[in-house]
Amino acid sequence: MSHAPTRGRLLFLLCLINFLRLLSPANAGAQSQPPTSYALTHAKIFTLAGSAIEDGTLIIHEGKIAAVGVGLDIPADAQVIDATGLQVYPGFFDSITQMGLREIGAVSATVDSTETGSYNPDVVAATAVSASSEHIPVTRAAGITEVLAVPGSGGFDSAGAGGVIGGQASAIHLAGWTIDEMLIKKSAAMVLNWPEIETRTFDFATFSRKEKPYSEAKLEYDKQVNEITDWLERARHYAQALEKGSVAKYDRDLKLEALTPVIRGELPLLVFADRSREIRAAVEFCDKQRLRMVLAGGSEAYKVKDLLRSKGVPVILRPVLTLPLDEDDPYDRLLSQPAELAAAGVKFAFASFDNSFARRLGQNAANAVAYGLPYEEALKAVTLYPAHIFGLDEQIGTLEQGKLANVIVTNGDPLELTTDVKYLFIRGQLTSLDNRHLHLYEKYAKRPKSAK
Amino acid sequence: MNSSSVFLMNARRIQFLYLLPLLNFLYLLPAPAATPPDTPAVTVIRNATILTVSHGTIEHGSILIKDGKIAEVGASVNAPKDAQVIDAAGLFVIPGIIDCHSHIAAESINEGSVSVSSMVNMAEILNPEDIDIYRDLAGGVTAANILHGSANAIGGQTLVIKLRWGQPATKLPFEGALPGIKFALGENPKRSNFSIPGQPKRYPATRMGVEETIRGAFSEARDYKKAWDDYNKRFAAGEKNLIPPRRDLRLEPLVEVLEGKRYVHSHCYREDEILMLLRVAKEFGFKVRTFQHVLEGYKIADELAAAGVGASTFSDWWAYKVEAYDAIPHNAALMTRRGVVVSINSDDAEEATHLNQEAAKSMKFGGLSHDEALKMVTLNPAMQLGIDKRVGTIDVGKDADLAIYNRDPLSAYAMVQKTLIDGRVYFDRQRDQAERSEREKEKKALVDKFKKAAEKKPEEKKPEEKKPDATAPSGQKPAESKSEQKKSEEKKPQEKPKPPQSSASDSAAADQRGGAL
């Protein structure tokens, strides 16, 4: 996909960038002096930390949830929002996206999601997240208040497959003028694309199928696993050297340094794998290496659910609105998997694995409910569980006193297709639901009747 | 080379050409594995909430089906005693979903080597065993517009099928539905986002060239039509010793377009290219039947309405390429409000499994009514495909193509229970679930058998032949490494995140060549 950098293209891109600037809606905190206190009154509040509160009050103060309950005293300086007939939930957390890293899939100049090369533990998503991406307000309007921006996870229309170690994922609020204002946790996980034993591949250089015998594919796979082992081993030695203070300035190795929190079990390893064979291998590997593993993808997690439960490996599930991997799988294989995992005691979260489909997060959760997942589990799988999986549940995930006020107010079930988000708070700030799509809609809805 | 060897070569080629239709014929034989479900002569669906689309909702209603057609609909029907009964208490019945843009049941999608590929026909490469037929059926889809890809300004011929899973390819086409032809405008035909290694840059490479490619082809088609019209006229007048014009398979379908015997379904994104095609259509005197994708249709809704063309769009896809950056989820509603007949399509086997949900989004984005939203995937696509006299609503005399849900189908919690085509139950969730353990057993037995066979001859190691790749252009460097290959695979211009496939199929390659989107 080589683009000749013609003058026309450059001019076009410049125009595009200017256009984007013009259209870019005001971000959070557009008010010059935003209130710091809010009171949501007469709402049905789903705290997800206990049963729902009827006719409840939620008080937000200086970015946090100050109180939640029935008939609370409302602080004098609080802006009161009468939420009669409305429902209050924690904002949704989409725990795998390329938010801010990819604007237009087919335009490589707007894509920063994946670095070249196979081992990039030192690259950090937050570095490249564009705070003014049009995807952010569009996603926010769907009730998503925070995401994990994940680099090097391959996936589609990124610049590459992401190699083996893809970089560090960053947890961000979907509001803020700069990345610094958006950050929840700069380094929330290290991306590892678990190798596959690939006997059949398609070679796009020659547009032909390539087949190789299993033995050859297995050798390549083993080689890659050995490489991963080697990287971790070197990181372990490096960490020891660091502890002993024997790393001189000129010895500093940024890649190994980035891996030290991983080998210490402080930073979760976000391992992308879908087939049960690879999942099993990855779980056993991480167990042996004493790493904190979070599985990403997990299309065949159901086949290894006992292993996942016994090793306490949580899963960020690929959208359930995905066709089964194999022709002979039941048609609803991915739709019914969440119910099966929940019954087996495997912890999981839903995620979009995307940007422009991030707003389908609730739809995916609802579809899992249709195929047997208890409703409350579905709600938690887009709020509390992802927060817990990435160690952020002391800050977000439920509506409890002291947590960050990432809150949505809706006119109905937030997983349902036709529900609207009426108010949205990020870090206690009433945040605009305006976005590029709404602008274009309003603009063209007003177009005078064509003369023709 | 002497003349006799040339003759021999030709003879061999001719023999091969003779074989081709035979092979096609063999291919069309019924798939042995799948058998069509039994069709009772009379079926009655009772106690259902019936969303007729044409005349409101009937609570606790019944539908009587005779010989594949809807015989009666209402609060009560006169069902014979021996009728097969489907008790739909608590269930919702809608007309079967019609997907106006699909690529299922096809062996390949794009003939991407030329800019005008009107000679190729999707009807000739139908694959009745494509599992996506069944998966979409399980999503309530009963008919689909099987389109060629968007690699060329003028693409291949298209057809409407019914999702009669288990039937041979000959039984898939929607009887009497007018055939179509795919056109494509914008980034895909001008090859903005991909190139094929070893192939030179193809004309057109701009939206200007796309217009000229279409104008050029229709200019030829017009002359070709005239040549035939003249010939036919003189022939009818009794003139002797006439030589007919040479038959041109590329121009024939375009003549059919000029004569209104073939629908134009044009892939498009930007408003300027849409207006361009409307101008070209006016110049040559043909009609565009539908604009597909038409993501900027909302900008020129009045022009679309005035031209009387249908618009078939996505619910909420955007930003996968520049021409999709102004896409908004309000597109369907805004065009509807300005008088355009709008459908929501899938362009994707997975998306097709929940078109009911995608239609529901037009209530949230743009405030369409429940009825209007439901029409997006039933009556409106039927009108766009010219099959609304047969399907699209629940009315007496229409085909009994129905989808039965466990709750309001415009909800994300709704699940298809049964799908009927021509009165036959082609999908039944209960039956599907009941058969799963049997299938598992069957699969296990096959795998065990295979394993045993493999154990018998353990050291049979074939020398791995390193065949020179015939398709690789000379001087083309083969891919360096596995990761390189993987990398380029990820460049597939697909919008939806997909799990990694165990192997890249030919059709994936075909998509890459042209991009189905």
Indicate the average pLDDT of chain A.
91
Q: Which pairs count as long-range contacts for A178-182, CB under 8 Å and 24+ apart, including other chains?
A: A178/A131, A179/A100, A179/A126, A179/A129, A179/A131, A181/A28, A181/A131, A182/A129, A182/A131
Return the residue matching tokens 């002797």.
B240
Give the pLDDT of residue B59.
98
State whether B436 and A203 contact (CB < 8 Å): no
Give the pLDDT of residue B512.
38
State whether A105 and B194 contact (CB < 8 Å): no
Tens of pLDDT, residue by residue over A337-355, are 999 999 999 999 999 999 9
Give me the CATH code for the B38-96+392-429 domain, please: 2.30.40.10
Chain A neighbours among B 37-76 (CB < 8 Å)? none
Give the pLDDT of residue B196.
72
Q: Spell out a b/e string for B65-75, using b for 16 or more CB atoms within 10 Å of the CB, else e.
A: bbebebbebee
* Least confident stretch, A71-85, A246-260, B10-24: B10-24
Count of A-B CB contacts under 8 Å: 246
- The answer to whether B226 faces chain A, any CB pair under 8 Å, is no
Is pLDDT of B48 > 70? yes
Q: Which CATH class is domain B97-391?
A: alpha beta
The whole-number average pLDDT for the span A139-161 is 78
- The answer to whether B512 faces chain A, any CB pair under 8 Å, is yes
The CATH topology of domain A92-396 is: TIM Barrel (3.20.20)
Is pLDDT of B121 > 80? yes
For residue A449, list chain B residues with Cβ-Cβ distance below 8 A: 302
Return the residue matching tokens 């999981």.
A348
The whole-number average pLDDT for the span B372-379 is 98
Tokens of A331: 């048609």
The whole-number average pLDDT for the span B378-392 is 98
Is pLDDT of A44 > 60? yes
- The answer to whether B486 faces chain A, any CB pair under 8 Å, is yes
- Asked if the ipTM is above 0.95, the reply is no
Domain spans in chain A, listed from the N-terminal domain onward: 36-91+402-452, 92-396
Tokens of A271: 């391992």
Minimum-distance CB partner of B360 among A161, A362, A418: A418
Give the pLDDT of residue A204.
67
- Measured in residues, chain A has a length of 452
d(CA B448, CA B452): 6
Tens of pLDDT, residue by residue over A164-181, are 999 999 999 999 999 999
State whether A154 and B512 contact (CB < 8 Å): no
Cα B205 to Cα B131, B210, B211, B213, distances in angstroms: 36, 8, 11, 11
Cα A152 to Cα A122, A165, A295, B231, distances in angstroms: 11, 7, 15, 64
Give the pLDDT of residue B488.
33
Give the pLDDT of residue A269.
98
d(CA A380, CA A378): 5
User: Which of B343, B208, B161, B173 has the alpha carbon at shortest distance from A8?
Assistant: B208
Query: Best interface-test mutation with A: which of B502, B512, B513 has the largest number of A CBs within 10 A?
Result: B502
Is pLDDT of A304 > 80? yes
% of chain A beyond a pLDDT of 70: 89
d(CA B61, CA B59): 5
Cα B77 to Cα B62, B66, B88, B93, B96, distances in angstroms: 6, 12, 14, 16, 21
State whether A105 and B469 contact (CB < 8 Å): no
The whole-number average pLDDT for the span A384-399 is 98
Burial of B90 (0-12, 13-18, 19+ CB in 10 A): exposed
User: Which of A37, A41, A89, A92 has the alpha carbon at shortest distance from A66?
Assistant: A37
Tokens of B46: 């009772």
Minimum-distance CB partner of A161 among B471, B483, B502: B483
The whole-number average pLDDT for the span B436-454 is 93
State whether B487 and A103 contact (CB < 8 Å): no
Minimum-distance CB partner of A209 among B363, B497, B504: B504
Minimum-distance CB partner of B478 among A103, A206, A323: A206
State whether B495 and A105 contact (CB < 8 Å): yes
State whether B302 and A154 contact (CB < 8 Å): no
Give the pLDDT of residue B38.
62
Is pLDDT of B310 > 70? yes
- The answer to whether B319 faces chain A, any CB pair under 8 Å, is yes
DSSP A404: B
Element (H, E) at B263: strand B263-268
Domain spans in chain B, listed from the N-terminal domain onward: 38-96+392-429, 97-391
Sequential DSSP letters for B414-465: --EEEEEETTEEEEEHHHHHHHHHHHHHHHHHHHHHHHHHHHHSTT------
Give the pLDDT of residue A3.
43
Rg (CA), chain B: 25
- Measured in residues, chain B has a length of 517
Is pLDDT of B473 > 80? no
The whole-number average pLDDT for the span A75-92 is 97
Tell me if residue B402 falls in helix, strand or coil.
Answer: strand
Give the pLDDT of residue A29.
42
Tokens of A89: 């939930």
Question: Among all residues of chain B, which has the CA nearest to that of A12?
Answer: B322
Rounded to the nearest 10 degrees, the angle between the axes of helix A214-243 and helix A276-288 is: 30
Tokens of B235: 């022939």
Return the residue matching tokens 């200086």.
A62
Rg (CA), chain A: 23
State whether B482 and A441 contact (CB < 8 Å): no
Tokens of A342: 């929940």
The CATH topology of domain A36-91+402-452 is: Urease, subunit C; domain 1 (2.30.40)
User: Which of A405, A312, A361, A374 has the alpha carbon at shortest distance from A142?
Assistant: A361
Cα B516 to Cα A20, A184, A227, A265, B267, distances in angstroms: 28, 39, 38, 44, 9
The whole-number average pLDDT for the span B152-168 is 98
State whether A155 and B349 contact (CB < 8 Å): no
Cα B505 to Cα A209, B114, B393, distances in angstroms: 8, 22, 37
Give the pLDDT of residue A203.
72
- The answer to whether B435 faces chain A, any CB pair under 8 Å, is no
State whether A325 and B478 contact (CB < 8 Å): no
Full-model pTM = 0.88
d(CA B143, CA A9): 41
